[in-house]
Chain A
Amino acid sequence: GAGVSQSPSNKVTEKGKDVELRCDPISGHTALYWYRQSLGQGLEFLIYFQGNSAPDKSGLPSDRFSAERTGGSVSTLTIQRTQQEDSAVYLCASSIARGEQYFGPGTRLTVT
């Protein structure tokens, strides 16, 4: 497809389990971002990848969160030992360098 895709669209997991969220950016977009949207915090930046540069991880809330981007394309956000406060919608966006960001539909994560 032409847009950013994310999978799964919904994920329910038990507290303490690990989860992986996937993002496929728009082809040719060099920049990729992860954000999350939770009821109490609104939309907040998590991590940014640009080409082969070291990612900007300044928004990750704890060391339980990590992300990688393989081959400059697909990205995976991993949350280890999930907590209930991790419940949120995780949004991925991509752009050409510093251009407009185009967002995916998000993954709704529920930690029970």
Chain B
Amino acid sequence: AQKVTQAQTEISVVEKEDVTLDCVYETRDTTYYLFWYKQPPSGELVFLIRRNSFDEQNEISGRYSWNFQKSTSSFNFTITASQVVDSAVYVCALSEARAAGNKLTFGGGTRVLVKP
């Protein structure tokens, strides 16, 4: 069965520091999708990125970057030069192509606290 592990439950940094969030996944499927969502205090999940298993290119979007390493089953997320507004819970998720629909299996989330 699929599983997503986010070993870091909480990370506290000072503004402008970089922070890297770890995500390790397990799946028997060869085709799958990985996601990151941001959950601010309001509670709504905000989509950040989707990556399919055949695309191992790293991606950068502004201060956000993602490192997909199939060899270690990891999909890590880095926030560069963190800001207070980055404070939120970040959740990594997986969906398997063979499953009906795109139902997500989530990690436990990492709470990021950025202090001014």
Interface, chain A (partner B; CB < 8 A): 31, 33, 35, 42-45, 48, 50, 56, 59, 89, 91, 93, 95, 98-106, 108
Write out the residue numbers on chain B whose beta carbons fall within 8 Å of the beta carbon of A101: 47, 102, 104
Write out the residue numbers on chain B whose beta carbons fall within 8 Å of the beta carbon of A44: 106
Is residue B74 within 8 Å, beta carbon to beta carbon, of the partner chain?
A: no
Whether B47 and A100, one on each chain, are in contact in the complex, defined by CB atoms closer than 8 angstroms, is yes
Write out the residue numbers on chain B whose beta carbons fall within 8 Å of the beta carbon of A105: 42-44
Query: Whole-angstrom distance between the alpha carbons of A44 and B103 in the complex?
Result: 10
Write out the residue numbers on chain B whose beta carbons fall within 8 Å of the beta carbon of A89: 43
Whether A42 and B102, one on each chain, are in contact in the complex, defined by CB atoms closer than 8 angstroms, is no
Interface, chain B (partner A; CB < 8 A): 35, 37, 42-47, 50, 91, 93, 100-109
Residue of A nearest to B45 (CB): A103
Given A33-B101, A48-B103, A103-B44: 8 more A-B contacts, CB < 8 Å = A31-B102, A43-B93, A45-B105, A89-B43, A98-B101, A100-B47, A105-B44, A106-B44
Whether B44 and A56, one on each chain, are in contact in the complex, defined by CB atoms closer than 8 angstroms, is no
Whether A42 and B103, one on each chain, are in contact in the complex, defined by CB atoms closer than 8 angstroms, is no
Top 3 A-B pairs ranked by shortest CB distance? A43-B106, A103-B45, A48-B101
Whether B47 and A91, one on each chain, are in contact in the complex, defined by CB atoms closer than 8 angstroms, is no
Write out the residue numbers on chain B whose beta carbons fall within 8 Å of the beta carbon of A59: 103
Q: Report 9 cross-chain contacts, Cβ distance below 8 Å, ordered by A residue.
A: A35-B104, A45-B103, A45-B104, A50-B101, A91-B45, A93-B45, A100-B47, A101-B102, A103-B37
Query: Whole-angstrom distance between the alpha carbons of A44 and B43 in the complex?
Result: 15
Whether B102 and A98, one on each chain, are in contact in the complex, defined by CB atoms closer than 8 angstroms, is yes
Whether A42 and B106, one on each chain, are in contact in the complex, defined by CB atoms closer than 8 angstroms, is yes
Write out the residue numbers on chain A whose beta carbons fall within 8 Å of the beta carbon of B106: 35, 42-44
Whether B104 and A42, one on each chain, are in contact in the complex, defined by CB atoms closer than 8 angstroms, is no
Residue of A nearest to B47 (CB): A100
Residue of B nearest to A43 (CB): B106
Write out the residue numbers on chain A whose beta carbons fall within 8 Å of the beta carbon of B104: 33, 35, 43, 45, 101
Whether B108 and A42, one on each chain, are in contact in the complex, defined by CB atoms closer than 8 angstroms, is yes
